[in-house]
Structure 1
Amino acid sequence: MNSNIANLQIAINWLRDIVSGCLNVYFGTTERFEKKPLNFYDESSWLGTFIEHHNPEYEEFIVLLLAIAPHVQPHFFNRLIAEHLPEGGDFPEFGGVKGTNHRGILPTGETAQFILAGDDLEKRLEIQRILSSEHWFAQKRILWMEPVREGEPIMSGRLVIDPEIVEQLTVGTVSKPRFSLDFPAEHIETEMNWDDLVLHPTTLRQIHEIENWIDHNDTLMHDWGMKKKIKPGYRALFYGPPGTGKTLTATLLGKQAGKDVFRIDLSRVVSKYIGETEKNLSRLFDKAENKNWILFFDEADALFGKRTDIRDAHDKYANQEVAYLLQRIENYNGLVILATNQRANIDEAFVRRFQTIIHFPMPRPEERYEIWQKTFPPQISIASDIDWRQIAARYELTGANILNVTHYCAVEILADQSLSLDLKRLEAAILREFVKEGKVV
């Protein structure tokens, strides 16, 4: 048994003794019970590390375990209550609710109050403070209380623990979230390196500015005390034609810094239904908070396009969506990159929100020459009639276009087992790419 599971078992058994003791006192089985000390099997496990890092108080740790218990033992609360109410029956003092799929009792704020405070009003209000939005549980997205319908007691809300904590406790690792309606972003990565990317020198210099922020932000904000003067995070706008390296640059920034990069296609997130866009984006930012992810918003003009006068309710709510996203972006403590094909599509009112605006232009002949030189695999023999400088000067292509041409040629060469590229085949592949793009050579 690994230390994570061993410590989790010890903690759940410890919690069972506490809950059982409270129930025994409530039902008159005993007058009082003694709280046993919690001794872990291994202090280096996730629970031990959590305690060392956050130093929770006794009440806080009990609340955490109450939220965890149904995830590891679905019958946890039902069995304890059944010992005193074998025939069933109402037990409103204990709190708890039923889930949509879960058949057991799910603890609520009232459950925590019953176990930790009983009828002591002062202590019950202290537990309410632990479950407020101002507590570090909620601030760090560790644990929170589910909102209830208007008019119902707020402490009847279900205790919700971050699924990643449950995953960390049970399997020891946290898997990357997958694209879904609840998480409208996809994890992107690359096997390419900076040497594989060819950019205009001005563009590359501005990218280095972002690298400097990644390397030195912690020193700037904490050691130099700038945290109280400037907003957290860094916001960049990438603009330029498709295929000029915007997405690859964002991915390489993450690869170099050891940070996960998630791409959000705003054209897929923005909803025609009022309020849905904010809900979609809220889930995303809640998940990303304190993860140090790089968020790459593609097709940014889907939400940040030039605003029009408010003519109807949809225009009004569209502006609210933009305001909401701007607020979340400005409060995000990591790197946010917005990308668009045309800077002119972005409302100028948003420009001041960015620390840097970087143009990714069509590659010039000298950059296209370098891309051609780097793209073809060494297994292909290049015929003497191919002059890469001439090809680069003659055909205006993006890096992505050149990669498409290379891909097509390489597959054809493998198919006929020639292992050689001549000018005729290359120009036919270039023509094919232009036709695909709807262009005329």
Structure 2
Amino acid sequence: MTRLLVIQTLQTALNYLAQVIQWRLDYHLGDREAETVAMMPHPPAEWLTAQTPLTCFIRNHQLDIAAQLTLLIALAPHLQPDFFDRAIAAQLPQAGDYPQIGGWRGKSHRGFLPTGETVLFILGGSDFSDRLILQQIFSEDHPFAREGVLYLDAPPEGEPLMSGKLVITQDYIDLFIQGHFSRPHFSMRFPAQRITTDMEWEDLVLNAQTLQQIRDLEAWIIHGPTILYDWGMKKKLKLGYRALFYGPPGTGKTLTASLLGKYTGKDVYKVDISMMVSKFIGETEKNLANLFARAESKDWILFFDEADALFGKRTNVRDAHDKYANQEVSYLLQRVENYDGLVILSSNFKSNIDEAFIRRFQSIIQFPIPSPKERLQLWQMAFPSQLKLADTLDLEQLSTTYELTGSDIMNVVQYCCLQALQQGDTLIHQQDLLSAIKREFSKTGKMI
């Protein structure tokens, strides 16, 4: 697929939409003989043969002509801002004489923007039965709703549904114009950051049981679509997968999530729960809805670190705050269960997570404190090649004596590297490590 082909296909699409609008206006205003406007123009022969994101989407979802044109109507202002002003408004005696055409003007964008009424007018004119049938395009069962492609914005209370603004989501604008979904920026509307790692599976030091469970989870990410779609299990199994990682901080939970994404080609987004939770009633649910709506159908891995704040146990209702807190957990349970990708929750303690979530996890993986053998492996892998260890330094004895996590060990090594650079000495002695370990323990009030 070339950029030139995408541009040519989009231009062909706009030209075709302009022809259809001209046909509708001719038909509606009676400017031509009836036989010349009886049939809607057919799409150009080359319209759906091109291999571009837009045409592939149309073919894959088997969209009929009405749905194709609805998609083009929603996309047109993003391709050519004055498209509807030239195609519709300029050809009417007075735009106000034809309220059935719908449309609205934005705050920054002053051109004509389509509504549901615009779609019904272009595709159905004033035919009552056609207009009713066309409204099914905006139903929840249509691919547009299922895939989160476009929708009608809710109009003010009491106004007809079709007067709502026709909105195509930014993800699909990017897909159809740029050829790919753009990664979301960290913001209040999407409080999650993409996390990556330069480390490999070999750098992850865990016990055999935990590693096997992680490999099983990796297998689902790779082979899940085959089970669901090729083997026909979609009707028997829920879409998506839910996993719980639990264990002390620094034991590899975040690294594991990053590695799963790296080796399966999935983007991993770490959710900032502090931005997600709001003291205002209904705001937490709204934030969750925005997050999951953006992630839906993207095949992203959502990683909720320190998930207790959102997924914690529900309490007995003593006041209004408890009532709404419990409602948040119930809503979150529903959204997590309906998400079609992988959701990973991370917590220090399994017991902190609400039982309703525990029952729905397909995988519960413990990340324990490393054993002495595992700590020795971590120590041996931790130092850069530029540093040398003194012959008297006993890593095995350090591994047995001091209960440290992988993160703790890396903090110790980082401190030793800084000290070595400051002192101009690349040889690490036993006392250097002991001082660094003492410093690390002091963070949590432990004594060496």
Please report the TM-score for the alignment, with normalisation by the length of structure 1.
0.95
User: Aligned equivalents of 2:176 and 2:220: distance in 1?
Assistant: 33
| Equivalent-residue separation in structure 2 for 1:325 and 1:436 (angstroms) | 34
Percent identity over the alignment? 53
Partner of 1:163: 170
Query: Counterpart of 1:20?
Result: 22
1:48 pairs with 2:50:
no
Distance 2:238 2:171 in 1: 27
- Judged with a 3 Å threshold, the aligned counterparts in structure 2 of structure 1 residues 100 and 83 are, in CA distance, closer, same or farther, namely closer
Q: List runs of 5+ in structure 1 lacking aligned partners.
A: none
Q: Give the equivalent residue in structure 2 for 1:440.
A: 447
Please, which of 391, 413, 418 is the counterpart of residue 406 of structure 1?
413
Which residue matches 1:342?
Answer: 349
Q: What amino acid sits opposite 2:247 in the alignment?
A: G
Where do 1:11-160 residues align within 5 Å? Answer: 11-31=13-33, 32-33=36-37, 35-40=41-46, 43-85=50-92, 89=96, 91-160=98-167
How far the C-alpha of 1:309 sits from its partner, in A, is 1.0
| Distance in 2 separating the partners of 1:88 and 1:121 | 22
SS at match of 2:344: strand
- Please provide the CA RMSD for this pair: 1.9
TM-fit CA distance, 1:402 = 0.8
Distance 1:3 1:345 in 2: 54
Amino acid at match of 1:38: P
Shift of 1:428: 1.8
Runs of 4 or more, structure 1, over 6 Å off, are none
Q: 2:294 aligns with which of 287, 298, 301?
A: 287
Whether 2:192 is the aligned partner of 1:179: answer no
Deviates more, 1:99-108 or 1:35-44: 35-44
1:66 shift after superposition: 0.2
Query: 1:326 corresponds to which residue?
Result: 333
1:180-199 to structure 2, matched below 5 A, reads: 180-199=187-206
Aligned residue identity for 1:139: R
> 1:379 offset after TM fit, Å?
1.8
- Structure 1 stretch displaced more, 278-287 or 173-182: 173-182
Residue 77 of structure 1 and its aligned partner are, at CA, apart by 1.0
Q: How many aligned positions are there?
A: 441
Q: Tell me the distance in 2 between the aligned counterparts of 1:2 and 1:420.
A: 59
Q: Please state how far the C-alpha of 1:257 moved relative to its aligned partner.
A: 1.1
* SS of structure 2 residue aligned to 1:56: coil
Name the counterpart of 1:10: 12
Instruction: Give 1:208 shift.
Output: 2.1
Separation (CA, whole Å) in 2 of partners of 1:13 and 1:123 = 24
Change in 2 beyond 3 A, CA 1:178/1:217: same
| Deviation of the 1:36 alpha carbon | 4.9
Matches within 5 A, 1:198-237: 198-237=205-244
Equivalent-residue separation in structure 2 for 1:82 and 1:215 (angstroms): 51
Secondary structure (helix, strand or coil) at the match of 1:353 reads coil
Contact map agreement 1:235 1:356 (CA 8 A) in 2: yes
TM-score normalised by structure 2 residue count: 0.93
Change (3 A) 1:13 1:95: same
In the alignment, what sits opposite 1:304? Answer: 311
| Cα offsets for 1:37-91 (capped at 9, x unmatched) | 3244871122232233222111111100000011111111122334234766453
Q: Kindly report which structure 2 residues correspond to 1:242-391, keeping only aligned pairs within 5 A, or say none.
A: 242-391=249-398
CA distance in 1 between partners of 2:372 and 2:242 (Å): 31
Indicate the SS of the match to 2:302.
strand
C-alpha separation in 2, matches of 1:125 and 1:423: 81
CA distance in 1, matches of 2:271, 2:244: 14
> Could you list the per-position Cα deviations for residues 323-347 of structure 1 after superposition, in whole angstroms to 9, with x for gaps in the alignment?
1111111122221111111222223
Question: Contact (CA 8 Å) 1:236, 1:356: kept in 2 or not?
Answer: yes
For the residues of structure 2 that align with 1:133 and 1:228, how far apart are their CA atoms? 18
Alpha-carbon deviation of 1:123?
0.7
Decide which moves more: 348-357 or 369-378. Answer: 348-357
How far does the alpha carbon of each residue in 1:372-395 deviate from its partner, in whole angstroms, 9 at most, with x for none?
A: 101111121111121110111122
**For the residues of structure 1 that align with 2:409 and 2:324, how far apart are their CA atoms?**
42
Q: Which SS does the other structure have where 2:386 is aligned?
A: coil
3-state SS, counterpart of residue 217 of structure 1? helix
Q: Are the structure 2 counterparts of residues 49 and 229 from structure 1 closer, same or farther at C-alpha, using a change threshold of 3 Å?
A: closer
1:353-376 residue CA offsets vs partner (Å, 9 max, x unmatched): 112221111111111110010111
Are the equivalent residues in 2 in contact too, given 1:178–1:187 (CA < 8 A)?
no
Partner SS state of residue 91, structure 2: coil
Displacement of 1:162 in angstroms is 2.1
Whole-angstrom distance in 2 between the partners of 1:138 and 1:7: 24
Letter in 2 for 1:8: L
* 1:212-267 Cα shifts (integer Å, max 9, x gaps): 32233233323443322222222111111111111111111111111111111323
Q: For the Cα contact (< 8 Å) 1:59–1:116, is it kept in 2?
A: yes
Structure 2: gaps spanning 5 or more residues: none
